Amino acid sequence: MRIAYLDCFSGMSGDMFLGALVDAGVSPDLLEKTVQALDIGARLEISRVCRSGISATKVDVYAHGEKDLPREEFWSGRQRSDAGALGSEHGPNPIRHEHHHVHDLRADGPQPGSHSHGRGLSEIRGIISRAGIGDGAKKTAIAMFEALGTAEAKIHDTAIERVHFHEVGAVDAMVDMVCAAVGGEALGVDEFVCSPLNVGGGTVKCAHGTFPVPAPATLELLKEAPVYSSGLEVEMVTPTGAAIVKTLAARFAAFPEMKVEKIGYGAGTRDLPGHANVVRLTVGEAQPALKVAPETLTVLEANLDDLNPQVFGYVMDRLLAEGALEVFGVPVQMKKSRPGMVLTALCRPEDAARLTHMMFRETSTLGVRRRDEQRQALDRKWVTVATEWGEVRLKVASMNGTVTNYAPEYEDCRKIAAERGVPLKNVMQAAMRNFRLPIED
């Protein structure tokens, strides 16, 4: 299975994701044609930049000639002229932020402080639906916008259709989301996996007041996603970035087992000192994880320094006969320099009491230690192979359906060797030689 892994150690925004897509091999022409297909007065500017020593691709969206959406706010108590110096990855002064608002559609008309312009979700759905892009990408892009609209509607306790986006902000967000959908599809992956997201910190003053980072819509979109803050007082995940992750990411996990094929770095606007302000996209073939469920087993141990060695061997056989999965002895030096043995039996928890009783009854120990441990075991089965002297069973172990180990059963080989008068090693070698490994697809 082909997967794409998003490393959001420096947050996530729409333009950062687009940069990572291009850096990982998605054609810039494809994204530019996607923007043209929207026909909303936007264009892309793609460049190479360096972020804390890391070379990355930067994608800027120009909407009606504007590079970023102005916003009037404070950042961590500083005016916006100071905010740029703090290094938000979402734009230069003024800081870029997907600004949206709610129209009051009551019969008595807009209330003071409401806006009379902007694009609603119905209009945005129509623009995306009419664009000359694939149906799958349209569906994904609309899902991103609806996720963002749903989050805003919940925060403002209103209907999703009352959520409107500033003209420039709607264009910018449409470009980010539609290009993300088209570019994500072009990667040709079966699954997007995302790391925990670094959301940043500090506060931001929006139209509705001052809020801590992450912004309300961002936090709503990141429900059930693993998030953290590295301590930087920077808004590192935007609502658009959160909507992209929410829609595309099938799961959140640490870096998966995979054969790496492509790596892309998408840059934020600011070059943060000592922090690479990029999102990393890694594409490759997933390697199968070990699909072995853990099981709980009980370990029984007893120290023996005064037991007849002949009895020790007998006890081992008896424990195995009574259900122990494994029994072994380890020589040890005990108190007063006496040589001794540690008798260990591995068993299932339901057999532990019975086997403990047997160890007390059959040995000279005064105490048996008991503990439960977790074990992962390969799948095992028995197969029979023919040799020139007779049939021998082999124990075959497999991992995720692939044979990893196999060995002939000692007792079968010993019996044949004794009965037919041939060397034991010859019988074992013949059994191994005649076993046919299954052919993998």
| Domain C-terminal end among 354, 375, 396 | 375
Give me the CATH number covering residue 419: 3.10.20.300
User: Is 441 contained in some domain?
Assistant: no
Question: How confident is the model at residue 168, as a pLDDT?
Answer: 55
Domain co-membership, 301 together with 417: no
Domain co-membership, 401 together with 262: no
Domain co-membership, 206 together with 254: yes
Cis peptide, bond prior to residue 94, ω within 30 of zero: yes
Domain co-membership, 275 together with 320: no
User: Is 86 contained in some domain?
Assistant: yes
Q: Give backbone dihedrals phi and psi of 130, rounded to 5 degrees, phi first.
A: -85, -15
| Domain C-terminal end among 223, 251, 286 | 286
* Residue 50: strand pairing partners: 55
User: Is 53 contained in some domain?
Assistant: yes
Question: How confident is the model at residue 400, as a pLDDT?
Answer: 72
Question: How confident is the model at residue 111, as a pLDDT?
Answer: 37
User: Is 440 contained in some domain?
Assistant: no
Question: How confident is the model at residue 273, as a pLDDT?
Answer: 87
Q: Identify which of 292, 271, 306, 327 has the alpha carbon closest to the alpha carbon of residue 402.
A: 292
Question: How confident is the model at residue 208, as a pLDDT?
Answer: 67
Domain co-membership, 275 together with 392: no
Give the structural domain span for 323.
295-375
Where would I find the beta strands (DSSP E) of 157-293?
163-165, 191-194, 197-198, 203-206, 209-212, 227-228, 249-252, 258-267, 278-286
User: For 278, what's the count of Cα atoms within 13 Å in the CB-facing half-sphere?
Assistant: 25
Domain co-membership, 68 together with 6: yes
Question: How confident is the model at residue 292, as a pLDDT?
Answer: 66
Domain co-membership, 257 together with 308: no
Mean pLDDT of each 10-residue bin along the chain, 441 residues long: 96 96 97 95 95 95 70 28 32 39 36 52 92 96 94 87 72 94 96 96 78 91 94 91 96 93 95 93 85 85 92 95 95 90 96 96 96 88 92 88 87 94 94 75 43
Q: Three-state SS for 112?
A: coil
Domain co-membership, 72 together with 189: yes
User: Is 252 contained in some domain?
Assistant: yes
pTM of the model as a whole: 0.63
Domains: count for the chain: 3
User: Is 439 contained in some domain?
Assistant: no
Q: Identify which of 176, 177, 179 has the alpha carbon closest to the alpha carbon of residue 29.
A: 179
User: Is 312 contained in some domain?
Assistant: yes
CB 413, CB 428: distance < 8 Å? yes
Domain co-membership, 282 together with 364: no
Domain co-membership, 324 together with 426: no
Please state, in angstroms and rounded to a whole number, the distance separating the CA atoms of residues 230 and 407. Answer: 52
Domain co-membership, 430 together with 305: no
Domain co-membership, 218 together with 328: no
User: Is 393 contained in some domain?
Assistant: yes
| Domain C-terminal end among 265, 286, 307 | 286
Give me the CATH number covering residue 327: 3.30.70.1380
Q: Identify which of 396, 392, 381 has the alpha carbon closest to the alpha carbon of residue 429.
A: 392
